[in-house]
Amino acid sequence: MKTISKLPLLLAALVLSFSSCESSDDAPKGDVSGDTSKTKYIVTVTTGAQGVADYLLTAGDISTGSITTQGNGLEQDGTYRYYLSTQNKFFSFLYGQGNPGAVTTYGLTANGDLTKISNFQAETVQVFAPVNKDILMVKVPRSGASISYMYKVDAEKSILTGTVSQDTRLLIGNKNPDLAERAHFTWATQVGDKVFMPYMKINGIAPDTFGSRHADSTWVAVYSYPDLKLEKVIKDDRTSYLGAYFTNGLFQDEKGDAYGFSGAIATSNNVVTSTKPSAVVKINKGTTEFDKSYFFNVQEKSGGYKISSTSYISNGKFLLLMYGTPGTNAGAVRLAVADVYNQTFKWVTGMPAVLSNATTRYNITTEDGNSAVLGVNTPDGNWIYTINGTSGAATQGMKVEGGQITAIQKLKY
């Protein structure tokens, strides 16, 4: 790994869509923390129409009523956007599909209006995560060149502060430099004062670029921060890789422990080859090894279902989006709540019978930290739901009209 002397233009982000913003004067629900600031919720919506950009809608109360993209919100430049909120700013990443994209930063005015703060060109990246007061963005090669570029951006100033490179073949242990096989980072997570980056091993050659010869192992690269020097790679053979392409699978809790979620979805020529269960593994605070005494077999507890994506609620409780066809990577989806401390699993109740998709990768928690707030899209309409982390009960809130919900975030003003 080496430091790059000339900092290239950075980022962009991938698939899905989001955009447009409506201002609401409704006051948020009661604040239990004693904080006198107010909250505005940002709801991103895609119409799915060719050539139509995504929208950013805003509301002060998402527990009731409805909101629409018709005549409301901020229309973004371009579709295929991903989102991140950190340092009380909302970042929108345009995926350039191989071309340069853009990073747009939004904030709230004193009146609670969403306003654009900055916008700059960037290279396409597949990973972006908050680290301290930065955003770490990673361009991950899937074929051809094997160098992954890691960009540090000051989240308060929206400026690039450093770039580091990593040859992804070295994480595989390739002795043959011509071998196309490489590591592909699924995400990055700050754990203590380090950055943990889970990855999958992929073939790197079409037509089976994301196919893997290593279906039943987990790897995490550990980097120092802010210099981003590779310190070690940790491995586990009880399940497959953590997360998925463009999907976070590693989270740190309030105690400082880290929990990794594996869907056991590795494939070869589009056939699932993982033989290990979809499960949760643990890295104890202050260590850089997997805790061999901990293993939460979610596939067994769920009756054969697999984890698709995960978001953290609090106090060891996670919201899971599960594949609806047991033992496969496809089918209808269901939501569940898992408690990693007690290794308990329960299906979410009170949801529509059929879900098209849900925003489990772009959620927020309630002010008391006990519930997840997410967007739920169904054939009959799209709503914001609140899911209690203790009971697993879902409560329907605001209806969103004019497109599918792709993310929900919040800012203070």
Burial of residue 271 (number of CB atoms within 10 Å: 0-12, 13-18, 19+): exposed
Return d(Cα 208, Cα 196) in angstroms, integer: 27
Return d(Cα 198, Cα 320) in angstroms, integer: 18
Backbone CA torsion sign across 149, 155, 156, 158? positive
Q: What is the pLDDT of residue 29?
A: 38
Q: What is the pLDDT of residue 87?
A: 95
**Pairing status of strand 218-224 against strand 230-236:** antiparallel
Side chain identity, residue 136: L
Task: State the DSSP string of 16-57.
Answer: S--B------PPPSPPTT-----EEEEEEEE---TTPPPEEE
Q: What is the pLDDT of residue 95?
A: 80
Q: What is the pLDDT of residue 33?
A: 46
| Neighbour order of strands in the sheet with 279-283 | 250-252, 258-262, 279-283
Return d(Cα 248, Cα 228) in angstroms, integer: 19
Neighbours of 167 (CB within 10 A): 18
Q: What is the pLDDT of residue 4?
A: 38
Per the confidence metrics, is the pTM higher than 0.85?
A: yes
202-247 tens-digit pLDDT: 999 999 999 998 999 999 999 999 999 999 999 999 999 999 998 9
Neighbours of 409 (CB within 10 A): 23
**Closest Cα partner for 48 from 22, 68, 18?**
18
**Closest Cα partner for 267 from 306, 216, 220?**
216
Return d(Cα 366, Cα 343) in angstroms, integer: 23
Could you say which residues of the chain have pLDDT below 70?
1-36, 49-53, 79, 97-98, 174-178
> For the stretch 240-253, what's the b/e string if a residue is b when 16 or more beta carbons lie within 10 angstroms of its beta carbon?
bbbbbbbbbbbbbb
Q: What is the pLDDT of residue 315?
A: 96
331-387 tens-digit pLDDT: 888 999 999 999 999 999 999 999 999 998 888 999 889 999 999 999 999 999 999
Q: What is the pLDDT of residue 382?
A: 97
Q: Are 74 and 114 in contact (CB under 8 A)?
A: yes
